[in-house]
């Protein structure tokens, strides 16, 4: 596979692996403290291509490589919405593996989503999200759908070689001032949360993040910030996906501190 960061892999991987192990142990510790619903823990596989294939814990980047706006970073841009919309219990998480498809990590997406780098027409994942045949269409009718921007990102990712890239979004400028619901908070919710929180019900802690009213109520209870900073009093979010980056967390915290306005 073509990977422009390949040469750094030997250096980064042992380091990242160590960080992942530490982070993962800590997550397991937190998880065991606060949740009574136990799901099988997916072992971390580090596939040594400079991308850091972290199926479970992970963070918003942190490998020392700045984000290039022309590249699609699987770990930050694709995996979060696959986890939220597809790798759910009863669908394509490791436990259910509907049709043998598991979409919870890079390795599983490549192995079971039948993705062919550079070839959309030969990629099953692409076919099922774009088909008009209601029997094959994913996500199925009635489930939260991918939006046009997410579908376009999958196309761009496959066309760029379906790589497992991660970048360090802490290196770029992070402007967490002037935040608003529409421009800042809503897009994060759409890409990383709404797939599991379309409506509040017993399967998701009664948290609805698909509307302003739902996000505002969650913000005001303290659960929004508590869950994303992994305060042990709350379930750590996004569940089963990479954590939000420090920049994203900073923006959401500022929006909440400024009154969680509908702006």
Start-to-end CA span in the chain (Å): 44
Of positions 240, 245, 256, 260, contacts ligand HEC by CB under 6 A: 240
Closest approach of Cβ 205 to ligand HEC, in Å? 3
Closest approach of Cβ 95 to ligand HEC, in Å? 12
CA dihedral 139, 130, 42, 56 (to 10 degrees): -100
Quick one: which of 142, 253, 236, 132 has its CA closest to 193? Answer: 236
Number of residues that bind ligand HEC (CB under 6 A): 28
Residue in the structure block whose two tokens are 């291509």 = 49
Q: Indicate the length of the chain as a whole number.
A: 263
Of positions 6, 11, 22, 35, contacts ligand HEC by CB under 6 A: 35
Question: DSSP 3-state assignment of 46?
Answer: coil
Closest approach of Cβ 4 to ligand HEC, in Å? 29
Binding of ligand HEC by 84 (CB under 6 A):
yes
Rounded to the nearest angstrom, the gap between the alpha carbon of residue 221 and the centroid of all alpha carbons in its chain is 24
Which structure tokens are listed for 176? 């967490």
Binding of ligand HEC by 83 (CB under 6 A):
yes
C-alpha distances (whole Å) from 81 to each of 70, 130, 171, 240 are 19, 16, 23, 11
Which range binds ligand HEC by CB under 6 A, 65-73, 80-88, 125-133, 134-142? 80-88
C-alpha distances (whole Å) from 48 to each of 56, 71, 123 are 16, 19, 23
**Please, which of residues 85-124 interact with ligand HEC by CB under 6 A?**
88
Provide CB contacts within 8 A for 46, sequence distance 6+: 13, 16, 17, 20, 52, 53, 54
Of positions 51, 60, 241, 242, contacts ligand HEC by CB under 6 A: 241
Return contacts of 132-135, CB within 8 angstroms, 24+ apart.
none
Nearer to ligand HEC, 41 or 120 (CB): 41
Nearer to ligand HEC, 50 or 80 (CB): 80
Closest approach of Cβ 207 to ligand HEC, in Å? 4
Binding of ligand HEC by 44 (CB under 6 A):
no
Neighbours of 221 (CB within 10 A): 12
Nearer to ligand HEC, 51 or 80 (CB): 80
Nearer to ligand HEC, 127 or 253 (CB): 253
Nearer to ligand HEC, 65 or 225 (CB): 225
**Please, which of residues 161-220 interact with ligand HEC by CB under 6 A?**
192-193, 195-197, 203-205, 207, 209, 218
Binding site for ligand HEC (CB under 6 A): 35, 37, 83-84, 88, 192-193, 195-197, 203-205, 207, 209, 218, 223-224, 227-228, 234-235, 237-241, 244
């Amino acid at each position: 596979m073509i990977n422009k960061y390949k040469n750094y892999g030997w250096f980064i991987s042992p380091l990242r692996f160590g960080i992942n192990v530490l982070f993962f142990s800590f997550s397991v510790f937190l998880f065991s403290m606060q949740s009574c619903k136990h799901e099988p823990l997916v072992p971390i596989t580090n596939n040594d291509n400079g991308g850091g294939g972290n199926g479970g814990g992970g963070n918003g980047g942190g490998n020392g490589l700045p984000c290039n706006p022309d590249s699609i970073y699987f770990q930050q841009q694709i995996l979060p919405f696959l986890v939220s919309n597809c790798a759910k219990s009863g669908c394509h998480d490791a436990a259910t593996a509907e049709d043998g498809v598991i979409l919870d990590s890079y390795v599983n997406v490549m192995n079971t989503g039948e993705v062919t780098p550079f070839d959309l027409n030969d990629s099953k994942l692409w076919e099922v999200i774009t088909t008009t045949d209601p029997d094959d269409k994913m996500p199925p009718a009635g489930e939260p759908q991918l939006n046009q921007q997410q579908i376009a990102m999958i196309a761009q990712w496959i066309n760029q070689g379906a790589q497992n890239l991660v970048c360090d979004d802490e290196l770029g400028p992070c402007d967490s001032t002037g935040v608003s619901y529409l421009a800042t908070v809503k897009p994060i919710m759409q890409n990383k949360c709404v797939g599991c929180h379309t409506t509040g019900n017993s399967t998701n802690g009664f948290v609805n993040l698909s509307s302003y009213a739902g996000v505002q109520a969650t913000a005001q209870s303290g659960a929004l910030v508590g869950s994303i900073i992994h305060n042990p009093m709350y379930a750590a979010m996004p569940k089963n996906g990479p954590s939000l980056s420090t920049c994203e967390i900073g923006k959401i915290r500022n929006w909440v501190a400024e009154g969680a306005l509908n702006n």
